[in-house]
Amino acid sequence: MLLAATACNHQSESKDGTESTSSATMATDSAQTRAAAAPMAAPFGKTPDGTAVQLFTLQNAHGLKATISTLGGTLTSLLVPDNKGELGDVVLGFDDLAGYTSDLFIKENPYFGALIGRYGNRIKLGKFTLDGKQYSLPINNAPNSLHGGTMGYNRRVWTGTPGTSADGPTLTLTYHSPDGEEGYPGTLDVKVVYTLTNTDALCLEYTATTDKPTVLNLTQHTYFNLNHGHNRDILGHELTLKAEKFTPVDNTLIPTGVLQSVAGTPMDFRQPHAIGERIKQVPGAAPGGYDHNWVLADAMRSGIELAANVYEPESGRTMDVYTDQPGIQFYSGNFLKGNLKGKGGVAYPQHYGFCLETQHFPDSPNEPKFPSTVLRPGETFHSVTEYRFGVRK
């Protein structure tokens, strides 16, 4: 899986027919003239085993802010303007580290804002065969393995290095994953660069190398609510997905291996639909919502392309997702139960946030017809995803 993806691409591009404008145009005059601030680091506490965690704040030239924790590479906050120019936090999370390390959070494990690896999404029965050898993984989403296992990358403390680029402030996160960690073969060195661009995009650039053949599917698990703090759910958000097919699942949310047309189904988002419009018609085992992979391409693409658009009518905020990955998992927050108290003590009930996880398909190691997720020594995995923010008046 030697992959050639472009780096973060921040030039102005068409919104594919939407009427969105960059959120930069809604910034105040003082924010428009402000130079992009250098990333700042602050202590964020310690994990239960005593490991220190840092919190980095990135601010671009228009005053947008992203805060990222070294625990899981977690995006804890993202402030972007609405159609009145007022900044608001559009991601779910907690005010302090204790929220991310509590027993309840670990038990429910919603993966708020975290980097996911070694293998994002599900692997059937926690087993796969590579080069004739079978590997067994932790069963943490019975009967399957989910998001890298019991101690996936979301629960590891990464090394963070702040920086700057021509596009905006950056945070480089690195993690050394030893051979055999969570059952996966090969020592993997992973680097993820977050950039908060001066064109109001949050860009993630992933790189990884291995010393043994392994499987790899890196993604990011932020829950978005573009009117967070005002709406109690995301069912009124309007979603477009640039996909003609999806991967239907069995009753454990494992793909059946079929690539099914979205036509005539509630999975058809080729034209905008409110998330809640057909949510009760969704097939599969997800409790009352979407938790499926949409097929963007039949192989890794050479550059990033538009995969999804979201519009929230009350705030006017929009978000475009660009990626070079062949799939995208749309998850409508079905498993949120209202037990977790997030920022400001607000409970997060079902459908309070949604995820758009750019990825390879779930269970690809067991589906030879799916795009390959095998990474071998001498190859470099490289991928880019951007979340571009704007507004409609």
Question: What residues are annotated to the active site?
Answer: 221, 357
The set of residues, in sequence order, having a beta carbon less than 8 Å from that of 176 and lying 6+ positions away, is: 187, 188, 189, 190
What separation, in Å, do the N-terminal and C-terminal C-alpha atoms of the chain show?
43
Distance from C-alpha of 278 to C-alpha of 148, rounded to nearest angstrom: 31
Place of tokens 């390879």: 360
The continuous run of DSSP H or E covering 98 comes out as: helix 97-101
The set of residues, in sequence order, having a beta carbon less than 8 Å from that of 29 and lying 6+ positions away, is: none
Three-state secondary structure of 287-333: CCCCEEEEECCCCCCCCCEEEEEEECCCCCEEEEEEECCCEEEEECC
Cβ neighbourhood burial of 366 (10 Å; 0-12, 13-18, 19+): middle
